[in-house]
Amino acid sequence: MTNPRIRTVVVDDHTLFRQALCDLLRTDEQFEVVGDARNAAEAIAVCERTRPDILLLDANLPDASAGAVIDRIRICSPTSRPIVVSMFDNPDLVADLVARGARGYLLKTATREELITAMRTVHTDDERIVLSVSPSTLTAPAPAPPPSPLTDRETEVLTLVAAALSNRQIATRLGLTEGTVKRHLSNIFGKLGATSRMDAVNRAAPQLVRKPAGRA
């Protein structure tokens, strides 16, 4: 019996590079490209729909940081394993992305063999993180996460928004009135400068991961 193929989504805003990665993976029978995306919004949507094993993620997207994308993927497709591909050997960026859940960080100068090996390793090993960076990058301290402007209750409400619950469902889950939920959302929008529910979720994604909802 053959092993199941490694289902992969490729995300990069440069069309030529993204298509080249997809074509490269399609030449290897071990991989199945189940989707590709040119920005963060598309990446989150395709990962939520396909639940890939591996997410190859560009570090520099036009609409959101790679860290914010990883935070959202951990919510909508928690079994997906992100590998960030970047032009920059940045110690602070590497430390931040690994802290958020990245399972690999490769420079775009990596060879085909290095990429394939990293993907196979991350897919088969539940603990291993693959980094293709300079030695100085590995010893750099991780930056402290920024403090959240939201209260614990506001974080709970927004976490349930991220899970696609309606105001009525959130009120029932948390034992609140629907009007109270609406007031919390109004405060959240004001604190985050958000213009919509999805915008608020994107802006607060790191806090949503650190403080899952569940308080009665």
For the chain, domain boundaries = 6-138, 152-210
Residue 83: count other Cβ atoms within 10 Å of its Cβ: 23
Q: 176, 179, 162, 184: which is closest to 215 by C-alpha?
A: 176
- Which residue ranges in the chain fall short of pLDDT 50? 1, 210-216
Query: Which neighbouring-strand residues pair with 54?
Result: 8, 81
* Cβ-contact 195, 157 below 8 angstroms: no
CATH top-level class of 6-138: alpha beta
Assign residue 4 a region (left: φ > 0; alpha: ψ between -120 and 50; beta: otherwise): beta
Q: How far apart are CA 202 and CA 215, in angstroms?
A: 22
The whole-number pLDDT of residue 139 equals: 58
Pick the CATH number of 152-210 from 1.50.40.10, 3.30.300.130, 3.90.550.10, 1.10.10.10: 1.10.10.10
pLDDT at 210: 45
What's residue 206's pLDDT?
Answer: 61
